[in-house]
Amino acid sequence: MSLNKKINVVVAGATGYVGLDLIRILSNHPNVNIKYLCAQKNIGKKIQYFDKRIKKNLPKISKLQNVKWKNIGVLFTSLPTGESQKIIKKLFSFTNLKFIDLSADFRIKNKKIYKKYYGSEHKAIKLLKLSKYAVSEFVKNDIKNKKIIACPGCYPTSIQIPLIPLLKKKLIKNQNIIIDSKSGYSGAGKNLKKKFSHKNIYSSIQSYAIYNHRHRSEIDQELSTASKSKVKYVFTPTLIPTFRGILSAIYVDKNKGVTLKKIHNELVRSHKKNHFVKILKPNINIGTGNVINTNICEISVCELKLKNKVLILSAIDNLIKGAGGQAVQNMNIIFGLKENVGLK
């Protein structure tokens, strides 16, 4: 793609946490022209009403029905699950239009699993088969010709980036994996109070959905695909009283003859060309401080006193690497740009 050519984009779901961070990134992208910002409410308002960090003069909030699609290159959908599939189904015939979906609508390939976790029938089964689930680091040669890109959830992103290379190489066992993921409360969206009745939710620690978190569906799908067999794990998501960031502590069993050094070296090898994955020296304590407001995934591999156990720490910003930043990274790959353009 010519560096002088702009990609005309539309953002649907512009005023949610993810939508706002996505817009902030896109507004500073040298190859992007934001043509429409869409939402169901607050029509006619400037985006700065919702996020003063966005400095650029952008189109006011409008309804998606008012978009003129002829010269649009990408529609980003940051919508509640169930909404994106309806919109993409209606617009799929526009030849030059790509869809980058940040909802769960095109993540799950099995329609029965989708219904089990999301409570409704999928309304675009034929399009589901044409979409590609895209953790950016693993699909660089697979998404350039795809029309629908399904961006992963935030928890699965933090989990898959370290685990998939190790499962593929069979360096770790595919059972007895313990995943303890802590997330800032923005991960639960703007309707946090409706989801959690606890009056101190913004100043307390709260585990939730320990048996049926929706992200389990894609964790199951992708880890088992990498392992070529069913992966057995425990996943405990917890909200903590900070706005953004995820730290996943992942406890795994080494396979026979595997050392911590071998696990560390494989992660270094697998991600050496991945601009946004930083593998630290072994046994380094990490948090979210270095990754907040970036598209980086920071990983540390730590030895434990328990025999054959290893702790893998993985930190991301849930709204950027776990959402809007990864969406832009996928856009860059699709259009042949350097994947770090417009990102940090």
| H or E segment to which residue 325 belongs | helix 325-334
Cβ atoms of 316 and 152 within 8 Å: the answer is no
The first and second tokens of residue 153, run together, are 């959830």
Cβ atoms of 177 and 249 within 8 Å: the answer is no
Backbone angles phi, psi at 173, to 5 degrees: -70, 150
Report the chain's C-alpha Rg in angstroms.
20
Rounded to whole angstroms, the Cα distance separating 251 from 260 reads 13
Rounded to whole angstroms, the Cα distance separating 238 from 241 reads 10
Q: Is the dihedral of CA 13, 15, 16, 18 positive or negative?
A: positive
Rounded to whole angstroms, the Cα distance separating 183 from 200 reads 16
Rounded to whole angstroms, the Cα distance separating 305 from 215 reads 30
Strand arrangement, sheet containing 177-184 = 206-207, 233-240, 177-184, 246-253, 309-316, 297-303, 277-279
Active-site residues, by number, are 154
Burial class (CB in 10 A: 0-12, 13-18, 19+), 187: buried
Cβ atoms of 295 and 302 within 8 Å: the answer is no
- How, if at all, do strands 297-303 and 309-316 pair? antiparallel
